[in-house]
Each structure stands twice: as structure tokens, then as C-alpha cells.
């Protein structure tokens, strides 16, 4: 019963509003929706598309006065029978009425299940559906501006449908050439196809680049790493402009990592302070150090914090070299107010003092630069999740192969590639079903949408 597909014959119910809102909305979708609402209310009949007041009761005890809205299939959000109950906002109220509905045969909706059903029943394209969890969850101003645009303009879908029009002609031509060799003397318009492939590729590359950036910008993480007592937590607080981490002169004060989010360039970023690295016999501290390492491994950007008064250049360089291939690193020397000592390092460093504020703005600017370099371009289309991105990548691979085969004798391989590109782009544009993609996409959703 875990698959969205397996659940389709059931009626689902969820609270569509967050607890604590002044109005609560309970939404049901499925063939039993009307029956369930009739059985828990004083209504004998629901009229589609009209708002009516009703009394909801359990075992003859009246528990709520609600506004009921009925959308008859297929003219509803999900394409199924949908009933919405607007109730009072108290959390307990919603819970009681949900339980009532469950006792009458509904099942609680999973993440994104309403939207899933909308796509399945042809009410929404996949691209739009994929944007919804972001619309609902996003705290990120830049990402929101991209999503709103995609959601409402369908820029990506428009691009695809334009392309697919052209492409289906090649598809038909390749088919007739192989199936009617006696009568069809035409050849594939290789040059024209290569040109089309090139322009498709250019667009897909842009989408891929922008989407990868978009997806990366969804989970930007800056991890502060360095030896114990190098001033990571002090700098952490300074960057956040608040007293978030405990700071002391003692080595090993920070035992576990601390995460706090803040905005840079309209992108929300998680800043992570970690336990300092040193050899110790303390089990707790060693566990903390282990966690620090795994934070570093998953970082988008590392702030390598160096105390110039106590560090050896060799071990700092060692750390730098271990990560510089795969990660962006900013090296920062701290305690500028105490010492102007300079380590001799083969890379540039930013010298700061968290206490005097020296260099902090310079560090912020450097962070801004790096994040901006990799920020998605709001004027270009994106796809919203990794599954769709992998379809884009597959198509890019197919484009490359097609260019290689189109001028060879293997017209059937070209035809196959033309077909594969066509198929993947149809799925992307939401015009062709693919069971796996649906399941993956919709498990990203928050409840009730």
C-alpha cells in the first residue's frame, strides 16, 4: 500500500492548511468523498460547485459547523470527486474531523498525493507538478522567482512542444524510409536534423546547467572546519550577527556541529560550525570530530579556519590539498586583533578578526561572489528535480550519439535514437506517462497540497 499507484482506488483525506491557521481546510479526493461527507454531516445531497453550510457530527454529537465545497469529477483539482470542508482553525478540530473521515473509509494522504492524482488524470503537466513542492516550501527568494515564472509561464513546456512538432516529422520519415524501401526514395535530411539536434542540445545544456545550479542552490551548505580553538564558533556568530554558538577559550568547546541558515544574494544558505579537529582520547569529542568530517564531505563550500598563532603551515596545506579538487575552499586566518603573524601558504587567505570586525565584510563579499557564480539564471528555464534532470541528461547523450550515427548507414539506429529523444521529451513535457518518474517526483511533496 505504499505506492501512489497502489492507492489510487482509495479515497484520500488530508488537512490542506498548517495547524494554527485561523481557518482549517480538510480535503478529500476519490470516489467515496461525497459518501463520506454525507455520512458525517447533516447534508443529504451535495451540489457541485456551490458553497453550503453544514453541521458535522459524530455519534449524534455535533462537533463543527463547516462550509462544504464539492467539485465533481473530472472538474476538480485531482480530476476525481473532491470535497473540501472549511472549518475552524484549531488543530484539535481538524484532527477530530480527519479521524471521522478515516473511520468512514478514507485513508490519510501521502506527500503530494493530491497533485499526483491531478497529473495522473491529466489535470496538470509534470513540469508544473514538480514546481509545486517548491512553491509551497521555498524560503529562497531567487528560487521562488524562478519557480513562479516557470509555474505560470510554462516556458519549458512551450520550448518542448515547439521542438516536438519538428521532431515528429523526422520520426515519421525515418519510419517510412525503412518500412517502404521500394516506394520511398527519400533520405533523412541529415543536415537539417543535425542543426535541430544542435539547437536542442544547446537548449538542453542550458537547462541542465541552470537546473543543476537550481538544485544545488536548494541545499547550499557552508561548512567551517579547522583545528580546535581556531575561532570557528566566534566567526560563526560574527557571520550570523548573533550569539548562536557557545564560545570559550577552552579547546574542544564545540562538540557537535551547529547549523544555522542565513541569506546571501537572496539564496538561503546553511552555515555549519563543526567540532575542531585534534587528536583526543575523549569518545564524545572523537564522535564530534567524525561528524565534522562528514559535514566537510557534504559541503558545497568549506571555510578553512586557521589560527595563525598556533598552526603549522604543513598541516593546513595538507587539509587544503585533500579537498581542493572537489570543493570550493576559502582559507581564513583568524585573531587578526591579537596577532598579525602570517603563515607562509601557497594559496590566498582572508585575514579576519571576529572581535574587531576586521575583514568580515571582505569575507562576506567573497562568499557572495562564489555563490553568485553558481546561482541559477532566473531568465532561463529549469527542471525542478533530479529525476527530470536525469531525463535531460539522457537526451543530451542521445543527441551526441545521433550526431555520430545520422551520417552512417545505420538509419535504424538513428531512428531508434530519434525515437528515444522523442519519448524522453514527451515524458518531460508531461504528454506521456512514465510510472517510475511519477513515483519519484511525488515522494518529494509536503502533505495536503
Partner 1 sequence: MKKYDVIVIGGGHAGYEGATASARTGAETLVLTQNISTIGELSCNPSIGGQAKSNLVREIDIFGGIMGKAADFSAIHYKTLNRSKGPAVHATRSQNDRGLYCSFVRNKLFSCSGLSVFQTSVRSIEAKNEKTFVISTSIGVSFLCSTVVVAAGTFLNGTVTTGSQRFSAGRLGEPASKNLASCIKSFGHRIFRLKTGTPPRLLMASLDFKTMDEQKGETDCLPFSIQTSDMLKNQRSCYITRTNKKTHQIIRENIHKSPIYGTHKSVEGIGPRYCPSIEDKIIKFSDKPAHTIFIEPEAWDAIECYPNGISTSLPCSVQEEFIRSVPGLEKAVITRPGYAIEYDAFDPVQLKNTLESTLIPGFFMAGQINGTSGYEEAGIQGLVAGVNAALISKNSAEVFTLDRTSSYGGVLIDDITGKGTSEPYRLFTSRAEYRLFLREDNTSDRLLEQSVKFNLISPKTAEKERGKTAAKRTLISLLSKKHITPEKKLTEHFAEKNIPPPKKKTSLKNFLKRPDIAWEDVEVFLDTADFDKKTIENALTEIVYEDFLKRQEEEIEKHKKMKNISIPESLDVSKIPGLTRETIEKLHRYKPENLARFAAIPGITPAAVSVLLLYIKKHLS
Report d(CA 74, CA 48) in Å as an integer.
11
Q: Where are the alpha helices (DSSP H) in 75-230?
A: 91-103, 113-120, 126-137, 141-153, 155-179, 190-217
Binding footprint of partner 1 on the chain (CB under 8 A): 3, 5-10, 30-31, 117, 120-122, 175, 178-183, 404-405, 408-413, 416, 420, 433, 435, 438
Task: State the minimum distance, in angstroms, from the CB of residue 28 to partner 1.
Answer: 14
One-character DSSP codes across 68-82? EEEE-TTSSSSSS-E
What angle separates helix 126-137 from helix 141-153, to the nearest 10 degrees?
150
Residue 163: all three cell numbers together: 521542438
Report d(CA 145, CA 157) in Å as an integer.
18
Q: Are 383 and 394 in contact (CB under 8 A)?
A: no
Task: State the minimum distance, in angstroms, from the CB of residue 135 to partner 1.
Answer: 24
Q: What are phi and psi of 43, to 5 degrees?
A: -80, 145
Tell me whether strands 258-264 and 82-88 are parallel, antiparallel or unpaired.
unpaired
Residue 350: all three cell numbers together: 582572508
Task: State the minimum distance, in angstroms, from the CB of residue 10 to partner 1.
Answer: 8
Q: Which is nearer to partner 1, 176 or 198 (CB)?
A: 176
β-sheet bridge partners, residue 269: 262
Task: State the minimum distance, in angstroms, from the CB of residue 197 to partner 1.
Answer: 16
Task: State the minimum distance, in angstroms, from the CB of residue 404 to partner 1.
Answer: 6
Task: State the minimum distance, in angstroms, from the CB of residue 46 to partner 1.
Answer: 19
Order of strands across the sheet that contains 267-273? 258-264, 267-273, 221-226, 301-306, 328-333, 349-351
Task: State the minimum distance, in angstroms, from the CB of residue 8 to partner 1.
Answer: 5
Q: Which is nearer to partner 1, 74 or 357 (CB)?
A: 74
Q: Which is nearer to partner 1, 1 or 61 (CB)?
A: 1
What separation in angstroms does the CA of 408 have from each of 44, 87, 256, 411? 70, 67, 60, 7
Q: Which is nearer to partner 1, 3 or 242 (CB)?
A: 3
CA dihedral 37, 40, 44, 50 (to 10 degrees): -40
The answer for 348, left when phi > 0, alpha when psi is -120 to 50, beta otherwise, is: beta
Q: Which is nearer to partner 1, 8 or 137 (CB)?
A: 8
Task: State the minimum distance, in angstroms, from the CB of residue 414 to partner 1.
Answer: 9
Q: Are 425 and 163 in contact (CB under 8 A)?
A: yes
Task: State the minimum distance, in angstroms, from the CB of residue 186 to partner 1.
Answer: 13
Q: How many whole angstroms from its chain centre is CA 282?
A: 39
The count of C-alpha atoms lying within 13 angstroms of the C-alpha of 352, restricted to the half-sphere facing its C-beta, is 28
Q: Which is nearer to partner 1, 16 or 120 (CB)?
A: 120
Nearest CA to 384 out of 300, 445, 435 is that of: 445
Q: Which is nearer to partner 1, 364 or 404 (CB)?
A: 404
β-sheet bridge partners, residue 120: none
Residue with cell 482506488: 9
Task: State the minimum distance, in angstroms, from the CB of residue 201 to partner 1.
Answer: 19
**DSSP code of residue 276:** P
Q: Which is nearer to partner 1, 152 or 410 (CB)?
A: 410
Q: Which is nearer to partner 1, 117 or 335 (CB)?
A: 117
Q: Which is nearer to partner 1, 349 or 411 (CB)?
A: 411
Amino acid at each position: 500500500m505504499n505506492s501512489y499507484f497502489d492507492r489510487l482506488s482509495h479515497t484520500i483525506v488530508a488537512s490542506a492548511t498548517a495547524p494554527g491557521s485561523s481557518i482549517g481546510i480538510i480535503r478529500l479526493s476519490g470516489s467515496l468523498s461525497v459518501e463520506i461527507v454525507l455520512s458525517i454531516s447533516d447534508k443529504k445531497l451535495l451540489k457541485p460547485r456551490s458553497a453550503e453550510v453544514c453541521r458535522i457530527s459524530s455519534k449524534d454529537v455535533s462537533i463543527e459547523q463547516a462550509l462544504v465545497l464539492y467539485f465533481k469529477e473530472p472538474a476538480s483539482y485531482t480530476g476525481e470527486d473532491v470535497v473540501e470542508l472549511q472549518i475552524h482553525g484549531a488543530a484539535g478540530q481538524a484532527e477530530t474531523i480527519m479521524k471521522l473521515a478515516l473511520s468512514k473509509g478514507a485513508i490519510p494522504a501521502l506527500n503530494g498525493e493530491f497533485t499526483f492524482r491531478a497529473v495522473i488524470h491529466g489535470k496538470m503537466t509534470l513540469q508544473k507538478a514538480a514546481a509545486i513542492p517548491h512553491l509551497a516550501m521555498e524560503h529562497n527568494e531567487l528560487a521562488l522567482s524562478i519557480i513562479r515564472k516557470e509555474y505560470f509561464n510554462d516556458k519549458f513546456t512551450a520550448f518542448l512542444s515547439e521542438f516536438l512538432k519538428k521532431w515528429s516529422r523526422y520520426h515519421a520519415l525515418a519510419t517510412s524510409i525503412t518500412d517502404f524501401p521500394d516506394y520511398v526514395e527519400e533520405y533523412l535530411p541529415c543536415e537539417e536534423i543535425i542543426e535541430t539536434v544542435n539547437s536542442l542540445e544547446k537548449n538542453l545544456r542550458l537547462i541542465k546547467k541552470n537546473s543543476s545550479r537550481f538544485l544545488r542552490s536548494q541545499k547550499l551548505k557552508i561548512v567551517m572546519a579547522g583545528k580546535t580553538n581556531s575561532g570557528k564558533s566566534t566567526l560563526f556568530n560574527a557571520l550570523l550577527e548573533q550569539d548562536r554558538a557557545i564560545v570559550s577559550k577552552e579547546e574542544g568547546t564545540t562538540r557537535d556541529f551547529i547549523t544555522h541558515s542565513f541569506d546571501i544574494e537572496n539564496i538561503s544558505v546553511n552555515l555549519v560550525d563543526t567540532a575542531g579537529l585534534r587528536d583526543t582520547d575523549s569518545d564524545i569529542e572523537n564522535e564530534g570530530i567524525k561528524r565534522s568530517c562528514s559535514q566537510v564531505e557534504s559541503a558545497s563550500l568549506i571555510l578553512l579556519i586557521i589560527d595563525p598563532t598556533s598552526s603549522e603551515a604543513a598541516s593546513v596545506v595538507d587539509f587544503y590539498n585533500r579537498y581542493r579538487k572537489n570543493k570550493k575552499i576559502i582559507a581564513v586566518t583568524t585573531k587578526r586583533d591579537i596577532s598579525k603573524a602570517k603563515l607562509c601558504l601557497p594559496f590566498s587567505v582572508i585575514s579576519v578578526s571576529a572581535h574587531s570586525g576586521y575583514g568580515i565584510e571582505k569575507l562576506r563579499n567573497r562568499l557572495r561572489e562564489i555563490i553568485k557564480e553558481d546561482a541559477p539564471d532566473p531568465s532561463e528555464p529549469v527542471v525542478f528535480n533530479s529525476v527530470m534532470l536525469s531525463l535531460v541528461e539522457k537526451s543530451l547523450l542521445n543527441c551526441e550519439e545521433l550526431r555520430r550515427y545520422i551520417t552512417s548507414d545505420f538509419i535504424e539506429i538513428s531512428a531508434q535514437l530519434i525515437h528515444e529523444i522523442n519519448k524522453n521529451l514527451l515524458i518531460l513535457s508531461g504528454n506521456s506517462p512514465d510510472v517510475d518518474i511519477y513515483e519519484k517526483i511525488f515522494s518529494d511533496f509536503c502533505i495536503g497540497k
